[in-house]
Chains A and B, each alone.
Chain A
Amino acid sequence: MKRFFGFLKPSITFTDWQGEVITLDPPDKVVLPISQPGHMPFNPVVEVGETVKTGQFIAMLPSRTGVHATVTGKVISIGPGYNNEGQEVLTITIRRESDDDLIAPHPVQNLEKISREELLEVLAELGFGFPWKPESLREKLTEEERLPFDTIIIFAVDTEPPISVQRRFLTEFADDFRESIVAIKKLAGDARVVVVVPDSMAGQARSLLKDVDIYPVKNSTLDTNPRMLIHKITHKFIGFYDSPRRHGIVTLSAEDVAFAERCLHKGKSRTNKLVTVWSPVMDKPVTVRVRLGTPVRHILSSLSISVSSGDRVIFGGPLMGIAQPDLDSCISLSTDGVYVLPASRITHFYDEPCINCGRCVKICPVHIQVNIVGRYAEFGLFEQAVQRGSGSCVECGLCAYVCPSHRPLMQYMRFANIQYKHILESRPADEEEGA
């Protein structure tokens, strides 16, 4: 990671990602979140003690997507837990008791003739959070979910190395992917569909997918940052306090898209997830296929990676990933990578003074004057920090990565943004009206 040529911008690139996907054995228990933070949960359709089969419908998420059992066994608890981002959610824990007893599939007969409404209902029940919702659910949607949209961006690139999950769907599941894209084009109507692919696969993607925009991107983290990509494709910038949906943009992952067709054809719900695992004891990252809800402990022990106290286990990549508090954290739909850092390799950040070298400013993709904003955040001047643009931070993490004083710059940005949110929320309402 060390660079001799310091005048060059560091770029963290995807290398050596090809390799077989290894399917792991199902774990002894799975934990599945059945609610979303900030939403009232629905009651699950199973009870504690009930035996469930693999693929059985067990709950509906507030965003109207189904949750399904991913192993065959007994529901041992339904109660509060945490999702990967540390937010409190309702979870279902299932203990595996036997080999997979698959629930009888209900394949959709004659996909061409099915009506749009029926198709949407099936998709929602199968667990796909697509932005189109069937009429029956429409009145229960949140305000944001009802907003119209005109652009659909499908990410067939991963956010950061060494994750190699989304890009695989262009090669290994090409047929599923293609058929799904055709279906999405049909559902989307007038909306523009953009597929973001790594530039090495652009030719392949162009021959595979007709009638959609292919957006090839280069091979470094800055090129594959989702918010930067949205900005480059649509010229709309999504800040910290904003969401793409408010700008009429919907983002989907290639994995969701490819699995949709597969699941529709087979009539099965989605139980698997691809995850790239990396640890310094491994020669190269390994991509594994695991059940949704698998505790990370199971993955690490299956790959014979030992973790001891003081190590860091990160869901996601090394720059933007989220460190997990314990090994019972479970793989969810948004977990693309597991990154293990042994205690000896952990980087420590300090509140040492900034020496103004300007490396953070040079690397910042959105031109924040990171050295100044970091100081504002450090000394608690959050409003000034936000006025200087900390809300535009795309959280690529490169500012802290290059800082020779080891200042936690990206952490300061996030801190300022969250504190500013609290400041706004704590203001009396009448003051805002007066302004």
Chain B
Amino acid sequence: MEMIKLNVAMGPHIHDGSRANKIMIGYLVALAPAAIWSAYIYGVAGIRSLILAAGSAVLWEWLARIIMKRNSTLHDLSALVEGFLIGMILPPNVSWWIVIITTFFAIIIAKQIFGGIGYYPFNPVLIGIAIVSVSWPNRLLSHSTLSDFSLGFNPVEPLWAFKAYGQEAANAFSRLDLLLGHQVGGFGTGAVLLLAIGALYLLIRGFISASVFFSYLLGVYMFQGMFYLANSSVNVHPDFYILGGMTFFAATFLASNFTTCPVNPVARIIYGAGAGLLTVLIRKYGVFPDGTIFAILIMNLFHPLIDRIKKPVTGLDVESLQFES
């Protein structure tokens, strides 16, 4: 009789077919509407930095894996997505070397040194952006990079304008303009409506955590709402904080980054709301007009701690185990 060698393994023997790189493709799909709209507004200058960011991020990842003598991880597309995110956050027409330095810090320092996808304690995109925005704050101001452009709308960063000139400057921005992306800021962070379409897609596919997304937005809205109710002559209406700056972008792509956010439901809500509170506090009391990046980085620091808030494991009696060991 013919000898048949069967394949043996432990169960489960089936899989639902999800893959990490499918999640990354989902991110790219969600980024696409806002990116295309921004490319239409800013033209080649914006596309240039977007492509430079994506390309250099992939290059750094490839180089890092070669130097570390590890298997290539380009197929998981995480470097590509991180590059695109950096390109979206950096202002259009930003100096090319700033883009390269950002991706260097993001991919090499914040990601690959810790072991690559899944191992980093801080979101690499945020680390990269934080380092360059602390180092060259003036070069990262959108309206300074856009002095040669005629855009047809108020070419000042809304949050910067509010910080510098107060309530009246903020009210000069119509909410509809902010919603449609007629605001300067990061290359692709302004088009709130199109980002919302992307976010909806990601939420439906389950590629971002709904609890982080909504608790972050609600956190910003509620805490700013408290300030607004307390003193509406100094504090701006919370609408402005949701629509202006990169709040919505951060809620969709940065705060809900899987690796640096908790996994338990309650912990996720605390994490999102905490990031929202910190965003509001940094915007109100900090130096930076848009505090989202630092707020989320600080919450990244606490995520393993917050993640201990969870339902107890059914039937686990830790004391009896400790007695044995």
* Contact with A312, one of B9, B15, B265, B268 (Cβ below 8 angstroms): B9
Expressed in whole angstroms, the Cα–Cα distance for A355 and B209 within the complex equals 13
- Which residues of chain B are near A51, meaning CB under 8 Å? none
Expressed in whole angstroms, the Cα–Cα distance for A400 and B14 within the complex equals 9
Expressed in whole angstroms, the Cα–Cα distance for A318 and B12 within the complex equals 6
Is residue B199 within 8 Å, beta carbon to beta carbon, of the partner chain? no
- Which residues of chain B are near A359, meaning CB under 8 Å? 18, 206
Is residue A353 within 8 Å, beta carbon to beta carbon, of the partner chain? yes
- Asked whether, in the complex, the Cβ of A324 is within 8 Å of the Cβ of B315, the reply is no
- Asked whether, in the complex, the Cβ of A6 is within 8 Å of the Cβ of B7, the reply is no
**Interface mask (B302-316 → A, CB under 8 Å = 1, otherwise 0):** 000001001111111
- Which residues of chain B are near A309, meaning CB under 8 Å? 3-6
| Count, chain A residues at interface, CB 8 A | 78
- Which residues of chain A are near B205, meaning CB under 8 Å? 4-7
- Asked whether, in the complex, the Cβ of A339 is within 8 Å of the Cβ of B204, the reply is no
Is residue B259 within 8 Å, beta carbon to beta carbon, of the partner chain? yes
- Asked whether, in the complex, the Cβ of A404 is within 8 Å of the Cβ of B20, the reply is yes
Is residue B152 within 8 Å, beta carbon to beta carbon, of the partner chain? no
* Contact with A355, one of B14, B20, B313 (Cβ below 8 angstroms): B20
- Asked whether, in the complex, the Cβ of B15 is within 8 Å of the Cβ of A369, the reply is no
* Contact with A7, one of B17, B203, B325 (Cβ below 8 angstroms): B203
- Asked whether, in the complex, the Cβ of A366 is within 8 Å of the Cβ of B323, the reply is no
- Which residues of chain A are near B206, meaning CB under 8 Å? 5-8, 359
Closest to B202 in A: A6
Expressed in whole angstroms, the Cα–Cα distance for A357 and B207 within the complex equals 8
- Asked whether, in the complex, the Cβ of B16 is within 8 Å of the Cβ of A402, the reply is yes
- Which residues of chain A are near B119, meaning CB under 8 Å? 353
Quote the shortest CB–CB distance from B322 to chain A (angstroms): 7
- Which residues of chain B are near A136, meaning CB under 8 Å? none
Is residue A341 within 8 Å, beta carbon to beta carbon, of the partner chain? yes
Interface of B is mostly: loop
- Asked whether, in the complex, the Cβ of A327 is within 8 Å of the Cβ of B6, the reply is yes
* Contact with A318, one of B13, B203, B262 (Cβ below 8 angstroms): B13
Quote the shortest CB–CB distance from A340 to chain B (angstroms): 10
**Interface mask (A104-122 → B, CB under 8 Å = 1, otherwise 0):** 0000000000000000000
* Contact with A325, one of B6, B259, B315 (Cβ below 8 angstroms): B6
* Contact with A386, one of B117, B210, B310, B321 (Cβ below 8 angstroms): B321
Quote the shortest CB–CB distance from A107 to chain B (angstroms): 42
- Which residues of chain A are near B9, meaning CB under 8 Å? 312, 323, 346, 349
- Asked whether, in the complex, the Cβ of B14 is within 8 Å of the Cβ of A347, the reply is yes
Indicate whether A318 sits within 8 Å of B6 (C-beta atoms), given known contacts A7-B206, A356-B258: no
Expressed in whole angstroms, the Cα–Cα distance for A4 and B12 within the complex equals 21
* Contact with B15, one of A313, A347, A358, A366 (Cβ below 8 angstroms): A347
* Contact with A1, one of B16, B22, B118, B210 (Cβ below 8 angstroms): B16
- Asked whether, in the complex, the Cβ of A405 is within 8 Å of the Cβ of B7, the reply is no
Is residue A127 within 8 Å, beta carbon to beta carbon, of the partner chain? no
- Asked whether, in the complex, the Cβ of B313 is within 8 Å of the Cβ of A367, the reply is yes
Expressed in whole angstroms, the Cα–Cα distance for A356 and B204 within the complex equals 19
Interface of A is mostly: loop
- Asked whether, in the complex, the Cβ of B209 is within 8 Å of the Cβ of A323, the reply is no
- Which residues of chain B are near A352, meaning CB under 8 Å? 20, 118
Residues A166-189 near B (CB distance < 8 A): none
**Interface mask (B281-325 → A, CB under 8 Å = 1, otherwise 0):** 000000000000000000000000001001111111010011111
- Which residues of chain A are near B51, meaning CB under 8 Å? none
Expressed in whole angstroms, the Cα–Cα distance for A356 and B262 within the complex equals 8
- Asked whether, in the complex, the Cβ of B325 is within 8 Å of the Cβ of A383, the reply is yes
Closest to B210 in A: A7
Is residue B33 within 8 Å, beta carbon to beta carbon, of the partner chain? no
- Which residues of chain A are near B22, meaning CB under 8 Å? 404
- Asked whether, in the complex, the Cβ of B263 is within 8 Å of the Cβ of A361, the reply is yes
Expressed in whole angstroms, the Cα–Cα distance for A414 and B209 within the complex equals 28
Indicate whether A391 sits within 8 Å of B13 (C-beta atoms), given known contacts A307-B4, A361-B263: no
Expressed in whole angstroms, the Cα–Cα distance for A397 and B9 within the complex equals 13
- Which residues of chain B are near A10, meaning CB under 8 Å? 16
Is residue B67 within 8 Å, beta carbon to beta carbon, of the partner chain? no
Is residue A194 within 8 Å, beta carbon to beta carbon, of the partner chain? no
Closest to B259 in A: A356
- Which residues of chain B are near A31, meaning CB under 8 Å? none
- Which residues of chain A are near B264, meaning CB under 8 Å? 358, 361, 369
Is residue B19 within 8 Å, beta carbon to beta carbon, of the partner chain? yes
- Asked whether, in the complex, the Cβ of A310 is within 8 Å of the Cβ of B7, the reply is yes
Expressed in whole angstroms, the Cα–Cα distance for A1 and B259 within the complex equals 26
Quote the shortest CB–CB distance from B211 to chain A (angstroms): 10
- Asked whether, in the complex, the Cβ of A323 is within 8 Å of the Cβ of B8, the reply is yes
Residues A1-17 near B (CB distance < 8 A): 1-8, 10
- Asked whether, in the complex, the Cβ of A392 is within 8 Å of the Cβ of B12, the reply is no
- Which residues of chain B are near A341, meaning CB under 8 Å? 13-14
Indicate whether A326 sits within 8 Å of B4 (C-beta atoms), given known contacts A387-B321, A414-B10, A435-B323: yes
- Asked whether, in the complex, the Cβ of A401 is within 8 Å of the Cβ of B12, the reply is yes
Quote the shortest CB–CB distance from A223 to chain B (angstroms): 15
- 21 A–B contacts from the bound complex (CB under 8 Å): A2-B18, A5-B206, A7-B205, A7-B210, A312-B6, A314-B11, A318-B12, A323-B8, A349-B9, A352-B20, A355-B117, A355-B258, A356-B118, A356-B263, A358-B263, A369-B263, A371-B263, A387-B321, A395-B11, A404-B18, A408-B10
B interface, CB within 8 angstroms of A: 3-20, 22-23, 115-119, 203-207, 209-210, 258-265, 268, 307, 310-316, 318, 321-325
Q: A347-B15, A404-B20, A432-B324 are in contact. List 9 more A-B contacts (CB 8 A).
A: A320-B11, A325-B6, A327-B4, A352-B118, A353-B115, A356-B258, A358-B258, A358-B264, A366-B314
A interface, CB within 8 angstroms of B: 1-8, 10, 231, 237-239, 307-314, 316, 318-327, 339, 341, 343, 346-347, 349, 352-359, 361-362, 365-369, 371, 383, 386-389, 391-392, 395, 397-398, 400-406, 408, 410-411, 414, 424, 432, 435
